[in-house]
Chain A
Amino acid sequence: MFRFLFSRIGLLIPTFLGVTIISFGFIRLLPGDPVLLLAGERGISDERYAELMDQFGFSRPIWEQYFDYLVGLLNGDLGTSIVTKKPVLTEFMTLFPATVELALCAIVIAVALGIPAGIIAAVRRGSFTDQTIMGTALVGYSMPIFWWGLLLIILFSGILQWTPVSGRISLLYFFPQTTGFMLIDSLLSGQPGAFKSAVSHLILPSIVLATIPLAVIARQTRSAMLEVLGEDYVRTARAKGLSSSRVIGLHALRNALIPVITTIGLQVGVLLAGAILTETIFSWPGIGKWMVDSIARRDYPVVQGGLLMIAAIVMIVNLIVDVLYGLVNPRIRHT
Chain B
Amino acid sequence: MSSLDASAAAKTESRNANRAMLAEFWFYFSQNRGAVIGLFVFLTLVLIALFAPLVAPHDPNFQYRDNFLTPPFWQEGGNISFLLGTDAVGRDILSRLIFGARFSLFIGVVVVTIALSGGVVLGLIAGYFRGWVDTTIMRVMDVILAFPSLLLALVLVAVLGPGLVNAMIAIAVVLQPHFVRLTRAAVLSERNRDYVVAARLAGAGNLRLMFKTILPNCLAPLIVQATLSFSNAILDAAALGFLGMGAQPPTPEWGTMLAEAREFILRAWWVVTFPGLAILITVLAINLVGDGLRDALDPKLKRS
Contacts and interface: CB of A to CB of B under 8 A. Distances in A.
Interface in B266-291: 266, 269, 272-273, 275-276, 279-280, 283-284, 287-288, 291
Contacts of B17: none
Interface residues of A, number: 46
A193 interface: no
A20 to B, nearest CB: 10
A154 B231 contact: no
A315 interface: yes
Interface string A1-22: 0000000000000111011011
State the majority secondary structure of interface residues on A: helix
B148 interface: yes
A292 B240 CA distance: 11
B147 interface: yes
Given A147-B279, A296-B244, A18 B143 contact: yes
A29 B155 CA distance: 11
B251 interface: no
A295 B143 contact: no
Contacts of B265: 150, 153-154, 158
A307 B242 CA distance: 20
Interface string B100-143: 00000000000000000000000000000000000000011011
Contact of A142 (B155, B239, B262, B283): B283
A26 B159 CA distance: 7
B151 A307 contact: yes
A295 B150 CA distance: 13
Contacts of B172: none
Interface string A133-155: 00100110111101110110110
B79 interface: no
A36 interface: no
Contacts of A144: 235, 238-239, 255, 276, 279-280, 283
B149 interface: yes
B155 A310 contact: no
A303 B242 contact: no
Interface string A25-46: 0100111000000000000000
A237 to B, nearest CB: 20
A272 B287 contact: no
Interface stretch (A88-96, A253-261, A273-281): A273-281
A62 interface: no
A139 B287 CA distance: 9
Contacts of A276: 148, 150-151, 154, 243
B249 interface: no
Contact of B142 (A15, A146, A291, A292): A15
B250 interface: no
Contacts of B207: none
Given A273-B149, A307-B152, 10 more contacts: A14-B139, A18-B143, A139-B280, A144-B239, A146-B255, A270-B148, A273-B150, A307-B147, A310-B147, A311-B147
29 contacts: A14-B142, A15-B142, A15-B143, A26-B159, A31-B161, A142-B235, A144-B276, A146-B242, A146-B255, A150-B272, A151-B273, A153-B266, A154-B265, A154-B272, A230-B304, A269-B148, A269-B149, A270-B148, A273-B151, A276-B148, A276-B150, A277-B150, A277-B239, A277-B242, A295-B158, A310-B147, A310-B148, A311-B147, A314-B147
Interface of B: 34, 139-140, 142-143, 146-152, 154-155, 158-159, 161, 231, 235, 238-239, 242-245, 255, 258, 262, 265-266, 269, 272-273, 275-276, 279-280, 283-284, 287-288, 291, 304
